[in-house]
Structure 1
Amino acid sequence: MKVVAGVLLVLCSLAVSQAWNCTDGPRLSYALQIDAGQGMVVAINRYNYVYILLRTHWYHMTYYRFKHCSVGPAGLWAVSTTDQVFKWSAGLFHQSGDKSIRQVDAGGNGQVVGVDSSDNTYCLTSTIASAHSGVGNVSWESLPRTMRYYSCGPYGCWGVDSSYQVYFTQGMNETTCATSNWILLPGINMTMIEVGTDGTVFGVGLDSKVYQRIGIQSSWRVGTDWSVISVCMSARHVSYDLGNLWIVTTSGSILKCTQ
């Protein structure tokens, strides 16, 4: 699998002139999801085990089974195969109450957001999220808009609804979880979207291509358009941190892209 991915990347580099240079990332067999933040990179494979990247090797973190993980200013959080939320604390994953969540995001300004199986959305304030050690229950705030995927950054939150349409809200108060109005961004339908801790936004379209939101500035945080990143391989999941774009392909390979 890794050899095939490498050949495809070479052919792609010969055929396409692009701003991003993608190479084979550290090998993790049958990767499904990846997340990067605060200088850390974590991933989940098809056996639902979570791994952390140290230098050039992936290390198995626990025997709990997870289907989604996220790392950011709020710490490392994960969702089990039975939709239970866990936080990494003192070298272990601890279950965080009994809230049922299927996708979690620890980006933003310290808050944690999550989506349940009915696309209802929830938030943990930054105060609760940072102080929680995995002991006892936590109080999730209900958010007004349903989403199938939710991700926050320093400039606001992005979401994909049940129709795969992309939305943006400029404000989320990390201490109260209050949000402002959502803006619909027509043009590209997405299966998922991720925001880097610097506000950079990437997503995977229904066509399995990787897109970057361009034109994001402090004065115009929603950006101006989508730009496709040509990697000649179909994508399943993406994440970005500290200049590195991580792509999980539909074949389970991991690509590391830089500019």
Structure 2
Amino acid sequence: MKAIAATFLVLCHLAISHDWNCDEGPRLYNAQQIDAGQGQVVATDRYNYPYVLIGSFWQRLSSIRFKHLSVGYAGLWGSSTSNIVFKYVAGNFVRSTGQSMQQVDAGGGDQLVGVTTSNQAYCLRCSSALTYSGVGYLRWNSLSRRLKYYTCSPKNGCWGVDTSNRVYFTRTINSVSCGTSGWTQVAGQRMKMVEVGTDGTVFGVTSRGDVYQRVGIVTGRPSAGRYWARVPMCMRVRHLSYDLNKLWVVTNSGLVLKCTR
């Protein structure tokens, strides 16, 4: 397995364009999902266990199984394999009561956003997201938008993907009221997921596992950019995340790649 992985990575290094150089990241066997924010990196493995990157090693956080983790201004949150929302508090994941979610995102301006198993988009106000410690009922605000994946940035609004893989963008979401500026469809490639970094940089993954970056986004000026530019990868990609000039990639084979310019 190690020899095969090494061979693929050599080919990958040769195949990547000069814009991005990808090497194997800290090894987490059979990684499934990854998220980076506020200088932290979290991930899940094939058994849905949650991990955080400490130096060059992955530290398992809990025996609770998660389908999706997210870390950002609102803290570290996750959706379990039973669609229960948890927050990481004082070294442990605490269970919340309220809306069930299949995916959550903590990267926006202190609010938490997520989508339900029926692909309805919701927002949790900052007053609840920041202070929640495991006590009380979380009251989510419906955003009247059907999405299967949802991601936010404090500097470039929020992005979402619907069940037809169409991409949508909203310039702002108010962390106090959870009100949005309205959604517009983004032309071009259809994506199975998109991720926006803290600085507003946006990447997407198609259903075939191809990676694209949204071109024309100016830091601090929320916009949908101009077009999608393909980022060559020698392996099909399952999931990705971007933070602090590093692109973290999970391949379909479960390898973690760390890419830099």
What CA distance in whole angstroms lies between the structure 2 residues aligned with 1:48 and 1:16?
A: 29
Shift of 1:3: 3.4
Check the 8 A contact 1:2/1:27 in 2, yes or no. Answer: no
Is structure 2 residue 102 aligned with structure 1 residue 105? Answer: no
Contact conserved, 1:149 with 1:160, CA < 8 A, in 2? yes
The one-letter code sitting in structure 2 at the alignment partner of 1:118 is S
Task: Give the secondary structure class of the aligned counterpart of 1:8.
Answer: helix
Specify the alignment match of 1:4 in structure 2. Answer: 4
SS of 1:3's equivalent in the other structure is: helix
Secondary structure of the structure 2 residue equivalent to 1:145: strand
Q: CA 1:2–1:203 in structure 2 vs 1: closer, same or farther (change >3 Å)? A: farther
Q: Do 2:17 and 2:231's aligned partners in 1 also have CA atoms closer than 8 Å?
A: no
- CA 142–17 in structure 1, closer or farther in 2 if over 3 Å, else same: closer
> Which secondary structure does the structure 2 equivalent of 1:190 belong to?
coil
Q: Distance in 1 between matches of 2:189 and 2:153?
A: 20
Matched, 1:54 2:54: yes
Cα separation, 2, equivalents of 1:97 and 1:161: 26
Tell me the residue number matched to 1:157.
158
In the aligned structure 1, how far is the partner of 2:92 from the partner of 2:15?
46
> Which residue is equivalent to 1:33?
33
State the alpha-carbon separation in 2 of the partners of residues 109 and 140 from structure 1.
16
Give the distance between the partners of 2:21 and 2:190, measured in 1 at CA: 25
How many Å separate the matches in 1 of 2:30 and 2:72? 24
Give the superposition deviation at 1:220.
5.8
CA RMSD of aligned residues (A): 1.3
Matched, 1:257 2:253: no
Inter-partner Cα distance in structure 2 for 1:150 and 1:109: 14
Structure 1 unaligned spans of 5+:
none
Map of 2:44 onto structure 1: 44
Q: After superposition, where does 1:172-251 map in structure 2 within 5 Å? A: 172-217=173-218, 218-219=220-221, 221-251=223-253
Farther-moved stretch of structure 1 (201-210 vs 75-84): 201-210
Aligned sequence identity (%): 54
Aligned to 1:167: 168
The yes-or-no answer on 1:133 pairing with 2:133 is: yes
Matched, 1:75 2:75: yes
Provide the C-alpha distance between the structure 1 equivalents of 2:89 and 2:99, rounded to a whole number of angstroms: 18
Offset, 1:80 = 0.8
Give, in whole Å, the separation in 2 of the partners of 1:52 and 1:133: 20
Q: TM-score, normalised by structure 1?
A: 0.96
Residues 52 and 58, structure 1, Cα contact 8 Å, conserved in 2: yes
Q: Report how many residues are paired.
A: 259
CA distance in 2, matches of 1:15, 1:239: 21
Distance 1:162 1:17 in 2: 31
Query: How far off is 1:77 after superposition?
Result: 0.1
Structure 2 vs 1, CA of residues 55 and 170 (structure 1 numbering), >3 Å: closer, same or farther? same
For the residue of structure 2 that corresponds to 1:4, the secondary structure is helix
Deviations 1:17-74 (A, max 9, x none): 3300000011111110000001110000110100010001001101111111000000
Range that drifts further, 13-22 or 147-156 = 13-22
Q: Give the AA of the match of 1:83.
A: N
Q: Could you tell me whether the CA contact under 8 Å between 1:2 and 1:24 is conserved in 2? A: no
* Conservation of the 8 A alpha-carbon contact between 1:141 and 1:177: yes
Task: Give distance in 2, aligned partners of 1:135 and 1:64.
Answer: 19
Change (3 A) 1:120 1:5: same
Structure 2 residues without counterparts, runs of 5 or longer: none
Tell me if structure 1 keeps the 8 A contact 2:106–2:112: yes
Separation of aligned partners in 2, 1:15 and 1:237 = 19
User: Which moves more between the two structures, 215-224 or 7-16?
Assistant: 7-16
Alignment-mate amino acid for residue 242 of structure 2: Y
SS at match of 1:78: strand
